[in-house]
Amino acid sequence: MDIVGQHIPLEIHEIASGTPVFDWTVPKQWTIRDAFVKNSRGERVIDFRAHNLHVVSYSCPVDTRLTLADLRPHLHSDPEHPDWIPYRTSYYSEDWGFCLAHSALQALPDDDYTVCIDSTLEDGKLIWGECLIPGATSDEIVISTHICHPSLANDNLSGIAVSIELAKSLLAASGSYYSVRILFIPGTIGSIVWLATNVERLQTIRHGLIAVNLGDTGHLHYKRSRRGHAEIDRVVEYVLHRRKDDCTVIDFSPYGYDERQFCSPGINLPFGCLSRTPYGQFPEYHTSADNMRFVRPEALAHSLDAYREIIQVLNRNGRFQNLQPMCEPQLGKRGLYGSIGGRSDAKERQMAMLWVLNFSDGEHSLLDIAERAGIDFEVIADAAETLTEHGLLARCSGSNA
Amino acid sequence: MDIVGQHIPLEIHEIASGTPVFDWTVPKQWTIRDAFVKNSRGERVIDFRAHNLHVVSYSCPVDTRLTLADLRPHLHSDPEHPDWIPYRTSYYSEDWGFCLAHSALQALPDDDYTVCIDSTLEDGKLIWGECLIPGATSDEIVISTHICHPSLANDNLSGIAVSIELAKSLLAASGSYYSVRILFIPGTIGSIVWLATNVERLQTIRHGLIAVNLGDTGHLHYKRSRRGHAEIDRVVEYVLHRRKDDCTVIDFSPYGYDERQFCSPGINLPFGCLSRTPYGQFPEYHTSADNMRFVRPEALAHSLDAYREIIQVLNRNGRFQNLQPMCEPQLGKRGLYGSIGGRSDAKERQMAMLWVLNFSDGEHSLLDIAERAGIDFEVIADAAETLTEHGLLARCSGSNA
Amino acid sequence: MDIVGQHIPLEIHEIASGTPVFDWTVPKQWTIRDAFVKNSRGERVIDFRAHNLHVVSYSCPVDTRLTLADLRPHLHSDPEHPDWIPYRTSYYSEDWGFCLAHSALQALPDDDYTVCIDSTLEDGKLIWGECLIPGATSDEIVISTHICHPSLANDNLSGIAVSIELAKSLLAASGSYYSVRILFIPGTIGSIVWLATNVERLQTIRHGLIAVNLGDTGHLHYKRSRRGHAEIDRVVEYVLHRRKDDCTVIDFSPYGYDERQFCSPGINLPFGCLSRTPYGQFPEYHTSADNMRFVRPEALAHSLDAYREIIQVLNRNGRFQNLQPMCEPQLGKRGLYGSIGGRSDAKERQMAMLWVLNFSDGEHSLLDIAERAGIDFEVIADAAETLTEHGLLARCSGSNA
* CB-based contact C144:C131 (threshold 8 Å): no
Q: Which of B131, B114, B144, B109 is nearest to B11 (CA)?
A: B131
The mean per-residue pLDDT over the stretch B319-346 comes to 82
pLDDT of the residue at B341: 45
Within 8 A by CB and 6+ apart from B384, the residues are B318, B320, B356, B360, B366, B393
Residue type, A208: G
* CB-based contact C10:C184 (threshold 8 Å): yes
Question: Which residue of B23, B78, B199 is the best one to mutate when testing the C interface, meaning the one whose CB has the most C CBs within 10 A?
Answer: B23
Nearest CA in chain B to C372: B253
Spell out the SS3 assignment of B260-300.
HHHCCCCCCCCEEEEECCCCCCCCCCCECCCCCCCCCHHHH
pLDDT of the residue at A209: 98
Residue type, A222: Y
Q: Does C254 touch chain A (CB under 8 A)?
A: yes
Interface contact flag, C326 B264, Cβ < 8 Å: yes
Cβ-defined contacts of C93-96 (< 8 Å, 24+) = C93/A332, C93/A338, C94/C60, C94/C121, C95/C56, C95/C59, C95/C60, C96/C56, C96/C59, C96/C60, C96/C61, C96/C62
Q: Which of C259, C262, C149, C91 is nearest to A333 (CA)?
A: C91
Q: What mean pLDDT is reported for chain B? A: 94
Q: Which of B7, C121, B359 is nearest to A227 (CA)?
A: B359
Within 8 A by CB and 6+ apart from A137, the residues are A177, A178, A179, A397
Interface contact flag, C358 B23, Cβ < 8 Å: no
* CB-based contact B208:B143 (threshold 8 Å): yes
CA angle A326, C200, C181 (to 5 degrees): 95
* Cβ contacts of C23 on chain A, cutoff 8 Å: 324, 326-330
* Cβ contacts of A351 on chain C, cutoff 8 Å: 255
d(CA C51, CA C151): 9
One digit per residue, pLDDT tens: chain C, 401 residues? Answer: 999 999 999 999 999 999 999 999 999 999 999 999 999 999 999 999 999 999 999 999 999 999 999 999 999 999 999 999 999 998 777 899 999 999 999 999 999 999 999 999 999 999 999 999 999 999 999 999 999 998 999 999 999 999 999 999 999 998 899 999 999 999 999 999 999 999 999 999 999 999 999 999 999 999 999 999 999 999 999 999 999 888 999 999 999 999 999 999 999 999 999 999 998 899 999 999 999 999 999 999 999 999 999 999 999 999 999 999 999 999 989 988 754 444 558 889 999 999 999 999 999 999 999 999 999 999 999 999 999 999 999 999 865 54
Q: Does A253 touch chain B (CB under 8 A)?
A: yes
pLDDT of the residue at A399: 59
Distance between B24 CA and the closest CA of chain C, angstroms: 6
Q: Does A373 touch chain C (CB under 8 A)?
A: yes
pLDDT tens-digit readout, A133-187: 999 999 999 999 999 998 999 999 999 999 999 999 999 998 899 999 999 999 9
The mean per-residue pLDDT over the stretch A312-335 comes to 95
Q: Does A211 touch chain C (CB under 8 A)?
A: no
CA angle B135, B140, B143 (to 5 degrees): 110
* Binding region of A for Zn(2+): 149, 155, 286
Q: Which of B142, B131, B127 is nearest to B189 (CA)?
A: B127
At residue A400, does pLDDT exceed 70? no
pLDDT tens-digit readout, C200-250: 999 999 999 999 999 999 999 999 999 999 999 999 999 999 998 889 999
**Edge to edge, what strands does the sheet with A319-322 contain?**
A361-365, A319-322, A393-395
* CB-based contact A170:A179 (threshold 8 Å): no
d(CA A365, CA A400): 6
Q: Which of C331, C386, C393, C334 is nearest to B265 (CA)?
A: C393
Nearest CA in chain C to A373: C253
Within 8 A by CB and 6+ apart from B309, the residues are B239, B243
Backbone angles phi, psi at C162, to 5 degrees: -65, -40
Q: Name the burial class of residue C241, with classes exposed (0-12), middle (13-18) and buried (19+) by CB atoms within 10 angstroms of its CB.
A: exposed
pLDDT of the residue at B332: 87
pLDDT of the residue at C74: 96
Q: Which of C128, C290, C269 is nearest to C214 (CA)?
A: C290
Is C81 annotated as contributing to ligand binding? no
* Cβ contacts of A325 on chain C, cutoff 8 Å: 264-267
* CB-based contact B273:B223 (threshold 8 Å): yes
Give the DSSP letter string of B327-364. S---SGGGT----TTS-HHHHHHHHHHHHHHHHTEEEE
Residue A397: count of CB within 10 angstroms of its CB: 9
Alpha helices in B86-180 (DSSP H): 102-107, 159-172
A142 forms beta bridges with A181, A208
Q: Which of C139, C142, C214 is nearest to C177 (CA)?
A: C139
d(CA C72, CA C60): 17
pLDDT tens-digit readout, B95-150: 999 999 999 999 999 999 999 999 999 999 999 999 999 999 999 999 999 999 98
* Cβ contacts of C93 on chain A, cutoff 8 Å: 332, 338
Angle between helix axes A159-172 and A297-316 (nearest 10 degrees) is 50
Give the DSSP letter string of C302-337. HHHHHHHHHHHHHHH--EEEESS-SS---SGGGT--
At residue A124, does pLDDT exceed 70? yes
pLDDT of the residue at B307: 98
Alpha helices in B36-86 (DSSP H): 68-71
Alpha helices in C32-119 (DSSP H): 68-71, 102-107
A49-69 per-residue burial string, b: 16 or more CB within 10 A, e: under 16: eeeebbbbbbbeebeeebebe
The mean per-residue pLDDT over the stretch B201-230 comes to 97
Distances (CA, A) of B184 to B125, B142, B161, B168, B304: 15, 11, 11, 15, 17
* Greatest Cα pair distance in chain C: 94
At residue B2, does pLDDT exceed 90? yes
Q: Tell me, what's the ipTM? A: 0.93
At residue A289, does pLDDT exceed 70? yes
d(CA A310, CA A390): 27
Distance between C265 CA and the closest CA of chain A, angstroms: 5
Residue type, C10: L
pLDDT of the residue at B340: 44
Distance between B391 CA and the closest CA of chain A, angstroms: 12
Interface subset of B 337-356, CB within 8 angstroms of A: 338, 351, 354-355
User: Would you give the distance in Å from CA B29 to the centre of its chain?
Assistant: 24
Which other chains touch chain B, taking contact as 3+ CB pairs less than 8 Å apart? A, C
Q: Which of C260, C189, C202, C184 is nearest to C11 (CA)?
A: C184
Domains with residue ranges and CATH for chain A = 2-23+126-316 (3.40.630.10), 29-122 (3.50.30.90), 319-395 (1.10.10.10)
* CB-based contact A47:A133 (threshold 8 Å): no
